[in-house]
Amino acid sequence: MFKVRVQEISLPTSDRDLDSLVTWFIDTLCLVRKRGDDMADHGVAGPVHRLLRDYLFAQPEIGWDAQMLADELALTPASLNHHLTRLVQSGIIGYTNEGKGWRRYYLRGGSLSKAIELFTTQSSTIVGQRLELIANYWGRENPRLILELPEKDSPSLTVGIVDHRPLQAETEESQLSQWMGDFGLLGERPGKEAKADSKSVQLFQLLLTRDSPLSLDEATELLGGPKARIGRIMERFRSSGMVERVPRTDRLGVSLWTAMTTQHQRRGEDWMLKKGGFQRILSAKQQSNLLMKLKKGKLNVDEVVEEMKSVDPQQQMLLLNLLGGRLPLGHRMNGEDAAQVMRNVQDSLDRVLRRMRRVAEMLESELS
């Protein structure tokens, strides 16, 4: 079964360091679980690193006997089998049972570039097919916000790619929770999160049907549980490329009202006119109406929204900034429809695959 976890990592800074190139592949395919601080050797003495660098990558035309590899790497057969199984599942390594004795393992395609070409085709096809499930659960009408501002700090892609398989009998998983687990939306070791009614599944279903962005406070109120836990789940969703975090411009009126009332109490009318941006952005009539109601303590959110109707949203954002206010962030699906979410995830994956092809060429050049 094809099963791999792909992580987006920047290209190596040096194309002459063989160990750096091999490490880049290991990290990109998440072949070694990182635990604690980095080791002094940066992992180059690890069995997976040596297995790839000294055998499979170095001599791709050879089929390596598992017993011989265990002796050379000083590993027990069980430990070697664990590493080889992960490499086979990732689609980079193949094996044959021809003849008698131990399995013989080899680099697919006879070269690293060809192995990556096979990996690219297989992973792109699986991701494209399995992402189609999103359309079955999609319930958003996707109303556009008053001002659409793109996400500024999107995280690097981390996504699981696993072949489709039927649900097991008498399982606590659902089709959606199994799908989420395969894509890495439930974490590396899902445990109870793999259940059909887990917090992660409920939150993803909410995002698939909710029109406006969802803040962490709202999610916590709707689903319960610690806010920090909801935040960690959201970060996993964002890392997959399926969910984005955007400024909630639909809450612009509320944010302006909060900033106006706070600054009027703290700094007064004169500051708001000069440094708070009232004279710069608002008309004389708007200034008068807002300040009069602020002075009486009767300004409400609806009145702020009404006064701001004639002000361009970009100017409203500038006014909020001058008043020292902050616009809350919210999470939503990364696309106006299911098809766009699929395209966005595929585009992010394609970026990683292009880097893999480039590093494969660099590594082959260095080995030759």
pLDDT at position 67 is 87
Q: DSSP assignment, residue 192?
A: G
C-alpha closest to that of 115 among 87, 89, 92: 92
pLDDT score at 96: 87
Report DSSP letters for 212-238, one per residue.
S-B-HHHHHHHH-S-HHHHHHHHHHHH
Which of 328, 288, 327 has its CA nearest to residue 307? Answer: 288
Cα 214 to Cα 203: distance, rounded to the nearest angstrom: 10
Residue ranges covered by each domain of the chain? 3-128+351-367, 139-164+180-190+200-246, 251-322
What is the predicted pLDDT for the residue at 304? Answer: 94
Q: What is the DSSP letter of 108?
A: G
Blockwise average pLDDT, block size 10, the chain, 368 residues:
94 81 94 65 80 93 89 90 93 83 87 95 96 95 83 90 91 93 93 92 96 94 93 96 93 94 93 93 94 93 92 91 92 94 96 96 89
Strand duo 64-65 + 104-107: pairing: antiparallel
Residue 15 confidence (pLDDT): 62
Question: One-letter amino acid identity for 359?
Answer: V
Question: With respect to CATH, is domain 3-128+351-367 assigned 1.20.1050.10?
Answer: no
CA distance linking residue 266 with residue 263, whole number of Å: 5
Q: Which of 265, 251, 240 is nearest to 330 (CA)?
A: 251
Structure-token pair, residue 254: 């509320």
| Distance in angstroms (rounded) separating the CA atoms of residues 138 and 298 | 42
The pLDDT of residue 42: 60
Of 159, 156, 158, 176, the closest CA to residue 167 belongs to: 176
